Amino acid sequence: MPLKVDLKNSASIAQSMELAYEHFGQIDVAVNNAGYGIGGAIEELSEQDILASFEVNVFGSIYVIQSVLPYMRKKRYGHIINISSIAGLAPHTGWSIYAATKSALIGLSDALAQDVKSMGIHVTVVAPGGFRTEFNTAESLVVADHKIADYFSLHDEIKKFEAKHGKQLVIQKKLPKFLSSWWNRTTRQLAYF
């Protein structure tokens, strides 16, 4: 059931969750997978770019969680899967804001897992490394327009990252199996690969 959702708008998310619930009669799993990369030195990035990154990469996930929890609490069952990034644990040169958003999602997930455990709701955060997606394309990356010459080595690292498009590992066939293996896991909910 495809739905158009504005991740920067909590009302849009709540409406889509309500439509999904009406259509399926229940919501067992919510996967927060939306996000994009933002590269550049902090002082090169605009306030607008930084805020937009947090709105999608962090607050969008929060709005989804807020919208889905009432349905899961009612059933005393559910699973929230938040897709973070290895950058939230081991950031790389040039991606400080992206790393901050993904680190926030990891911390949020760890605390949330404790908050909802007694209601039969599980929370898993997955922090994958690079694998073949459209992430390294202009549609998924924001790179600072304003370049400061002193950050030349940082700019070189970002160019190397962008050049990896199409050369990352192919693990898409393994990811669903990997996520399903975490379904009933009750220990620490952090997975990275």
Q: How far is 190 from 134, CA to CA, in rounded Å?
A: 24
Handedness of CA 95, 136, 45, 84 (dihedral sign): negative
Q: What is the pLDDT of residue 186?
A: 46
Question: What's phi and psi for 38, nearest 5 deg?
Answer: -140, 120
The answer to whether the CB of 106 falls within 8 A of the CB of 190 is: yes
pLDDT higher for 149 or 128? Answer: 149
Single out the catalytic residue among 96, 102, 109, 151: 102
Single out the catalytic residue among 63, 67, 96, 98: 98
DSSP 169: B
In which band, very low, low, confident or very high, does the pLDDT at 193 lie, cut at 50, 70 and 90? very low
Q: For this structure, is 98 an active site residue? A: yes
At 92, list the tokens.
């790389």
Average pLDDT, the chain: 83
Tell me: the pLDDT tens digits for 48-69?
999 999 999 999 999 999 999 9
Q: Does the domain spanning 10-192 belong to CATH 3.40.50.720?
A: yes
Q: For this structure, is 84 an active site residue? A: yes
Q: For this structure, is 102 an active site residue? A: yes
pTM (two decimals):
0.81
Q: How far is 128 from 79, CA to CA, in rounded Å?
A: 19
Single out the catalytic residue among 67, 84, 85, 96: 84
Q: Which residues are paired to 143 by β-bridges? A: 39
Tell me: the pLDDT tens digits for 74-127?
999 999 999 998 888 888 888 899 999 999 999 999 999 999 999 999 999 988
Domain map (residue ranges) of the chain:
10-192
